[in-house]
Amino acid sequence: MAERSTPAASKLAVVTLVVSLAAAASTLLPARAEEPLPEGPHANVRVGLVFDVGGRGDKSFNDAAYEGLSRAARELGVTTEVLEPSGAEDREAAMRLFAARGFDLVIGVGFIFSTDVNVVARDFPSTRFACIDYAPPMEGVMPPNIAGLRFREEEGSFLVGAVAGLMSKTGHVGFVGGMDIPLIRKFEAGYRAGVHEVCPRCEVHAGFAGTTPDAFRDPVKGKALANSEIAAGADIVYHAAGTTGHGVFEAARDMGVKAIGVDTDQHDEMPGTVLTSMIKRGDVAVFDTIRDVAEGRFQAGLRTFGLAEDAVGYVDEGPHAAGIPEDTKQKVEALAQRVIRGEIKIPER
């Protein structure tokens, strides 16, 4: 496995960057010394995961992916490591570092890795790669050693939209997106469709934090957007905005309304304020892909996960869903089954 030919200066820059990544062990190599080495038939399978913007501890999508990685280590006995890039310039280098070290599978968490994984996968054709929320190249073909893991976010968003539409007392609900891109528009479209499925007269107020990846880590902007929507009458606000969503929770708490989290159960971020969360099971996609590699049946190409695969949904049971009436849960479950059966078509934009 050889890296592509580059001028000497460029090679030096790549090597220097890789060394800096490896040296920053406290943030980039969180393998824990106290954990025992993996045992079992898959202990020789090595999996490297590179976090997206927000990193581990975002209580959202990165943490969900990490849970899938951790589950694979526990149940399959694979060897795992993670890297957390400090900036955009480190993403490709982090993936390249894992590939150069001979890892069997390298995973990038988030659409922002799509270009990077295309480049590195071509340079390491014997290494398997996976990218969550992968966006295929606009031109050319997808490398044959990439699994593009995608979700039907509009389906899970449809369900929480129905919850909001059924529970809103004002007939106004809100949505705060992070970066204004087609992926996040899917969340908005599904949410809007769910609201209008149960409350045709309800109004959905929507806003986005920006057009760059920084829009996923701007809680101040998130709070401002949520405050604007609440001022317009929204009494439930759903976010799909990474750590920008923390500002949405603060605004909802301060104004005495409810918020809906995203990706993982975000109840503990703001107990009493977070009504429920749309669950996007990045852990399912990560675990399934690692298992396929461990069992010798890696599936390259685009793979999509939705309600039928139990990979999206919402928090509808346990104490964290106590604020949702049982009849509302039953109505939403009936809608979910109709989506699975193909009776309801949810728009992506």
1 domain residue, yes or no: no
Strand residues in 271-321 grouped as ranges (E): 274-280, 301-305, 312-314
212 domain residue, yes or no: yes
211 domain residue, yes or no: yes
Give residue 41's pLDDT: 76
Torsion sign, CA atoms 34, 40, 43, 44: positive
177 domain residue, yes or no: yes
Mark whether 180 and 64 lie in a shared domain. Answer: no
Mean pLDDT in consecutive groups of 10 residues from the start of the chain, 349 residues: 34 38 43 47 92 78 92 96 88 97 97 95 98 89 96 98 99 98 96 99 99 95 99 99 96 99 94 97 95 96 95 96 97 98 96
DSSP assignment, residue 168?
A: -
Residue 120 near residue 308, CB atoms below 8 Å = no
Mark whether 228 and 323 lie in a shared domain. Answer: yes
- Among residues 123, 130, 116, the alpha carbon closest in space to that of 100 is found at 123
Residue 133 near residue 113, CB atoms below 8 Å = no
- Among residues 152, 214, 74, 92, the alpha carbon closest in space to that of 345 is found at 152
Mark whether 29 and 118 lie in a shared domain. Answer: yes
182 domain residue, yes or no: yes
Query: Distance (Å, rounded) from C-alpha 290 to C-alpha 298?
Result: 8
| 3-state secondary structure labels for all residues of 29-65 | CCCCCCCCCCCCCCCCCEEEEECCCCCCCCCCHHHHH
Mark whether 61 and 172 lie in a shared domain. Answer: no
Mark whether 85 and 232 lie in a shared domain. Answer: no
Strand order in the sheet with 301-305: 79-83, 46-50, 105-109, 128-132, 146-151, 301-305
Query: Distance (Å, rounded) from C-alpha 241 to C-alpha 175?
Result: 10
Mark whether 115 and 171 lie in a shared domain. Answer: no
Q: Are strands 79-83 and 46-50 parallel, antiparallel or unpaired?
A: parallel
Instruction: Report the DSSP beta bridge partners of residue 205.
Output: 174
- Among residues 137, 73, 80, the alpha carbon closest in space to that of 105 is found at 80
Q: How many domains does one find in the chain? A: 2
Mark whether 139 and 190 lie in a shared domain. Answer: no
Mark whether 163 and 207 lie in a shared domain. Answer: yes
Mark whether 184 and 329 lie in a shared domain. Answer: yes
Residue 120 near residue 75, CB atoms below 8 Å = no
Instruction: Report the DSSP beta bridge partners of residue 345.
Output: none
Give residue 9's pLDDT: 33
Query: Distance (Å, rounded) from C-alpha 196 to C-alpha 165?
Result: 7
Mark whether 21 and 141 lie in a shared domain. Answer: yes
Give residue 40's pLDDT: 66
Residue 250, CB half-sphere, CA atoms under 13 Å: how many?
Answer: 13
Tokens (6 digits) for 120: 């590195």
Give residue 291's pLDDT: 97
Total residues found in the chain within this entry = 349
Give residue 52's pLDDT: 85
DSSP assignment, residue 133?
A: T
184 domain residue, yes or no: yes
Residue 232 near residue 205, CB atoms below 8 Å = yes
- Among residues 246, 291, 311, the alpha carbon closest in space to that of 273 is found at 246
Q: ∠ at Cα 322 (321, 326), nearest 5°?
A: 90
Mark whether 209 and 269 lie in a shared domain. Answer: yes
2 domain residue, yes or no: no
Query: Distance (Å, rounded) from C-alpha 33 to C-alpha 54?
Result: 24
Give residue 25's pLDDT: 38
Mark whether 69 and 123 lie in a shared domain. Answer: yes
What residue numbers bound the domain in which 67 lies? 8-151+282-308
Token pair 């898959």: residue: 42
Tell me the CATH number at 247: 3.40.50.2300
